[in-house]
Amino acid sequence: MAKIEISNLGRAFKKKGSATERFWALQDFNLSIEQGEFVTVVGPSGCGKSTLLDLLVGLTKPDEGGISIDGKRIQGPALDRGIVLQGYALFPWRTVRKNIEFGLEIKKVPKSERKDIIDHFIKLVDLIGFENHFPFELSGGMQQRVAIARALAYDPEVLLMDEPFAAVDAQTRETMQDEILSIWEKTGKTVVFVTHSIEEAVGLADRVAVMAKNPGRVKEVVNVNLPRPRRIADVRNTTDFSLISHRVWELLQDKEPLPLNVGGSTVDVGEAILADAAI
Ligand SMILES: Nc1ncnc2c1ncn2[C@@H]1O[C@H](COP(=O)(O)OP(=O)(O)OP(=O)(O)O)[C@@H](O)[C@H]1O
Ligand SMILES: [Mg+2]
C-alpha cells in the first residue's frame, strides 16, 4: 500500500465576481507516494500546489476524490504530518523556543526531554541566541527556519513543505537543503516538497511531479535516478542532473521532451539553468 494515495482529487473555488460559477484549481490529480519517498512538486504559479498541500494537511476538504495516508482518508490536521506552509504561520504570541515546543506539548513529550530536542533543532536551523525572541523580532528567513524546526521537532512521519526555503538567503538555503536530505536519509520520512526551483526539485527528489494549470493536475512524474546519499553540490554539475533538469524544464515550457539518452552534447542545459529563475 502506498503511504500517500491521492486519487482523482478535485478542488473548486468560486469565480471572483460571480455568485454561481466555479473553477477547478485541481482536477483529476493522481499521485501515489511510497513510504520513505522524497517527492518534489513543481508547476507554474497558480497551478494549485498550495491548494494540494492544504488538502494534504487537512486544512480544507476536496470537492472530488480524496487523499489517504496509510489507507485512511484524511479527516483533518494531525501530528502524523509536519507542515511548513507558504508564509511562515508561526504563533506570534510564542517565542522561538515555545513555537518549536508546540508539537512536543501536543504529543505529550515529557518536559525533561523537550529541552534537548528544542536545543538540537535551534542549533540545526542556526538560531542560537534567538531562542527567546518573538516572531515579529525575526527576519522572514529566520521565521521560516523556526517553522522548519517546529515541523521537524515532533518527528512526524510525513513532511509537507510549501516552498520552505523561498525566503532564506542562498547560502542558508543550501545548508537547509543538505540538512533536510540528511534528516530524511536518517529517519525515512515521507516528504512532499513544493518548490519553484528546478535545481532544488531535482537535487532533493526521488521523483519530481510536474504540474500543469487550468485545471491543476500532474502533467508528468520525472524519475530522478541520481545516487544516494546525495548532496546537491555533488550532483549539480553531472550530466545526468542536467538532463533530468532539462526534462523538467521542457515539461514546464510545454515542450515535447527530448529522449533522455542523447549523450549530453546536444542538450542545451544552459536553458534549464536559466529557466530556474523563470518559473
Ligand atoms: N481560498 C481560495 N479561494 C479562491 N481561490 C483560491 C483560493 N485558494 C487558491 N485559489 C486559487 O486557486 C488557484 C491555485 O492557487 P494555489 O495557491 O494553489 O497556487 P500555487 O500553485 O500554490 O501558486 P504559487 O506558485 O504562486 O504559490 C489560483 O488560481 C488561486 O487564485
Ligand atoms: Mg503556492
Prediction pTM value: 0.89
pLDDT for the residue 259: 56
Q: Which of 51, 59, 219 best tests ligand 1's pocket when mutated (most atoms within 8 Å of CB)?
A: 51
Which ligand 1 atom minimizes the distance to the CA of 211? 21
Q: Which of 50, 57, 63, 162 best tests ligand 1's pocket when mutated (most atoms within 8 Å of CB)?
A: 50
Ranges of the chain whose pLDDT falls below 70: 88, 255-279
- Domains of the chain, CATH where assigned: 4-80+156-275 (3.40.50.300)
Nearest CA to ligand 1 atom 27: 45
Q: Helix (H, G, I), strand (E, B), or coil: what is residue 188?
A: coil
Ion ligand 2 contact residues with beta carbon within 5 A: 49-50
Burial of residue 245, with CB atoms counted within 10 A of its CB: 0-12 exposed, 13-18 middle, 19 or more buried:
buried
- Taking CB atoms within 8 Å and a gap of at least 24, the contacts of 256-263 are 257/220
Q: How confident is the model over 170-212, as pLDDT tens digits?
A: 888 898 899 889 889 988 899 999 999 999 999 999 999 999 9
**Ligand 1 proximity of 217 Cβ (cutoff 6 Å):** no
Q: Which of 14, 16, 47 best tests ligand 1's pocket when mutated (most atoms within 8 Å of CB)?
A: 47
Nearest CA to ligand 1 atom 30: 46
**Which has the closest alpha carbon to 31: 13, 58, 49, 12?**
49
Q: Helix (H, G, I), strand (E, B), or coil: what is residue 261?
A: coil
pLDDT for the residue 162: 94
pLDDT for the residue 268: 43
pLDDT for the residue 265: 40
**Ligand 1 proximity of 46 Cβ (cutoff 6 Å):** yes
pLDDT for the residue 176: 85
**What distance in angstroms lies between residue 196's CA and the mean position of ligand 2's atoms?**
9
pLDDT for the residue 124: 85
**For residue 25, which ligand has an atom nearest its CA?**
1
Amino acid at 206: D
**For residue 52, which ligand has an atom nearest its CA?**
1
**Ligand 1 proximity of 51 Cβ (cutoff 6 Å):** yes
Distance CA 203, CA 97 (A): 31
Name the residue with cell 508528468: 220
Q: Which helix (H) or strand (E) holds 11?
A: strand 4-14
**What distance in angstroms lies between residue 220's CA and the mean position of ligand 2's atoms?**
19
**What distance in angstroms lies between residue 32's CA and the mean position of ligand 1's atoms?**
22
**What distance in angstroms lies between residue 215's CA and the mean position of ligand 1's atoms?**
11
pLDDT for the residue 260: 54
**What distance in angstroms lies between residue 8's CA and the mean position of ligand 1's atoms?**
18
In this structure, the chain runs to a length of 279
**Ligand 1 proximity of 13 Cβ (cutoff 6 Å):** yes
